[in-house]
Amino acid sequence: MKTAYNHGYTQSAGQHTTPLQRLAELVRGARSAVVLTGAGISVPSGIPDFRTPHSGLWERVDPMQVAHIDAFRSDPVRFWGFYGERFATLGDKQPNGAHEALVALERQGLLDGVITQNIDMLHRKAGTRELVEVHGSIASCSCPDCGGNISLAQTRERIAADDDGVPRCAACDGPIKPDVVLFGELLPAAALLRARAMCQRADLLLCVGSSLEVHPVAGLPLLTHEAGGAVAIVTQGPTPLDDIAEVRLDGDVVHELEALVDELAPSAQPGR
């Protein structure tokens, strides 16, 4: 275990420091700062999250019926009835100010990378360079039978061309599968290993828009905390890890992250 780090935070007696200022101090003082994002960072881009009452994606459908690996294998028509709609909507969404704020921090040398649970490609589109997509991405699909791989654009073309709306492999005609982690599947070992290593060496892990309830990703902040690093949380609604957070912000993610960039601008340290 590494020695606990001071994070570069000091406060004069009687001086009032806001949570945003505290977060900015943690970012400035961190030798390695990493961000973990969940569905909440993409909500301002028009993508619903999963569990919010009355609006979450799983309020409308049972994930075990439409987003489980067994559903893909047993009923690809029903599976792609759901995922075809997801592909049609997600592929056209654009990054919002929160994604762009993280890119700004990375370019200033204040952020080492982003770990995301999201499959929507928005961090890619925004320009994040060091990105770990632990749940995969809609950027491509693969054939489980012969290993053929096609792009998002090709997938959408094949959905439209098939009478049942099932994109099929050109080589073997079998249904192809999105390169995302479905319920019942393990996370890609390489991506999870990289994410764990980033969190273990981070002096600061900033969790943005995540409920921190989906494992094993929900355990990543504990790796940072147990190694002596700081955990900060920016999300609306409580999380199981609020008690270990050194900073907790619950405002709109775009507003909070853009304000963080503004707070750091006068003393940003490129090339850290």
Among this protein's residues, is 68 annotated catalytic? no
AA letter at 222: L
Asked if 96 contacts 102 with a C-beta cutoff of 8 angstroms, the reply is: no
What per-residue string of b and e applies to 213-243 under the rule 16 or more CB within 10 Å gives b? ebeebbebbebbbebebbbbbbbbeebebee
CA dist 147 and 166 (Å) reads 17
Asked if 181 contacts 208 with a C-beta cutoff of 8 angstroms, the reply is: no
AA letter at 112: D
Write down the catalytic residue from 123, 135, 225, 255: 135
Segments of 99-193 assigned E as strands: 113-116, 131-133, 136-142, 149-151, 177-180
* Residue 81: both structure tokens together: 């009835």
- Measure Cα distances from 122 to 41, 182, 183 in Å: 10, 19, 22
User: Would you name the residues annotated as active-site residues?
Assistant: 135
